[in-house]
Amino acid sequence: MLRAKRNVPGLQLNGEPAAPAEPARERPLLVGPLPDRIRHRFPIFRNRVYINSCSQGALSDAVRDAYERYLEDWDERGAPWDYWVEKSEDARRAFAGLIGADADEVAVTTSVSAGLSAIATGLRYARRSKIVTTDWEFPTVGQIWHAQELRGARVVHVETGEDGTIPLEHFAREIDDDTAIVSITHVCYRNGARVDVEEVVRLAHERGALVLLDAYQTAGSLPLDVRELGVDFLAAGVLKYLLGSAGLAFLYARRGVVERIWPTATGWFADKDIFQMDHRDYSPSSTASRFQSGTPPIPAIYAGVAGIELMQEIGVAETRKHVNALNARLIDGLDELGATLATPRRPKRRGALVCVRSKDAPALVEVLGREGIVTSDRDSNLRISAHAYNSTDDVDDLLAALQRHRKLLA
């Protein structure tokens, strides 16, 4: 399977970028294998092997055009706030459709941190004081929950098992009648392992606890249905597999729990009537909008809607199937190299992200980058995250480069 590096269009044999190709003019999706249909929409592939969607999705022509439309609208309309508020509603509806929610169950936020802070500050910890989270969480999640210790909360972390996953029995030991909320990530950003969400939700609800799911590493790479998952809250952003840009995220809040939580981290777009402009009153919306805050991130909304629409056009389910096939090829090649996998082998136990142990992960990322291959690292692991636009050639080019730099692998 491993082979010498091929001559990638736009990439010289020595790994240095060649002169950029002429811009692709096609916009519609074509017929054929998934990457052949969409790759022309992402200019970075003219001179790079981009396999780092767990950090940020590749920039598409649709998102670039969306930013141009934002500037044109600003230029032509002046201060079109009614129009821009409606664009925010477009974003709300687009994300709701992606996860199987109703639009009034979705808050438009600037980040997962903003949505999570609204929930955390809205919970009261007198009757149930315990917050159960895991050792897999992104720093912002753990930091926000631990900040609630100043308000009487008690935070416990469910530990990882010896096989690199978190067994359900580890959750069962921590979730009890004092638990207010269980906060879990769908896929660990450090090793690519996946939580069995439905089983954790069942256990938590049996014991009277709410469940929040951080789906940033799965939204766009894995079909999501909040009704099937059963979660009370789901937070995600558009920066990664949803192909948007920084500055836009969403929070789903199940209708039955919204009015039980009164955030103290708030803002005027959380009000029941944002144009009432009453600075002497706190009357949050009766919908998930109560978890919003200040002025919405209008430029990022243009880009985020474009990314979500493109991802829906591509197809999340088809993307999952395609990425699973690429990852199977990747894992076979890593086995041939004698590399150490940090990610579970079973597709149901991992997301789109595959991690490989490294002796010096930052150095490996740097040397791959010099050869025109974009990856990232966390926790002494090389992170490799394919998406709909990646091809088998991308995987083979990466494997060939790893063979050349085998000494950096653990």
The amino acid present at 356, given as its one-letter code, is V
pLDDT at 12 over 90: no
DSSP code per residue over 209-266:
-EEEEE-TTTBTTB---HHHH--SEEEEESSSTT---TT-EEEEE-HHHHTT---SS-
Tokens of 398: 């990466």
Q: Torsion-angle region of residue 100: left (phi > 0), alpha (psi -120 to 50) or beta?
A: left
Q: Tell me the pLDDT tens digit for each residue of 25-77.
A: 445 555 569 999 999 999 999 999 999 999 999 999 999 999 999 999 999 99
pLDDT of 274 reads: 87
Taking residue 1's Cβ as centre, other Cβ atoms within 10 Å add up to 12
pLDDT at 339 over 70: yes
Q: Tell me the pLDDT tens digit for each residue of 263-281.
A: 999 999 999 998 888 899 9
Strand ordering across the sheet containing 353-357:
353-357, 381-385, 376-378
Q: Please name the helix (run of DSSP H) or strand (run of DSSP E) that holds residue 75, with its range, or none.
A: helix 61-77
329/347 Cα distance (integer angstroms):
13
Burial group, residue 367, by CB count within 10 angstroms (0-12, 13-18, 19+): middle
Pick the CATH number of 80-311 from 3.40.640.10, 3.40.30.10, 2.60.40.720, 3.50.30.10: 3.40.640.10
Q: Are 66 and 302 in contact (CB under 8 A)?
A: yes
Q: Tell me the pLDDT tens digit for each residue of 102-126.
A: 999 999 999 999 999 999 999 999 9
pLDDT at 14 over 80: no
pLDDT at 78 over 80: yes
Does the domain at 34-60+315-408 match CATH 3.90.1150.10? Answer given as: yes
DSSP 8-state symbol, 43: G
Give φ, ψ of 52 to 5 degrees: -140, 40
Percent of the chain with pLDDT over 90: 89
298/253 Cα distance (integer angstroms):
22
Q: Are 144 and 119 in contact (CB under 8 A)?
A: no
pLDDT of 30 reads: 54
132/130 Cα distance (integer angstroms):
6
DSSP 8-state symbol, 343: S
Q: What residue ranges do the domains of the chain occupy?
A: 34-60+315-408, 80-311
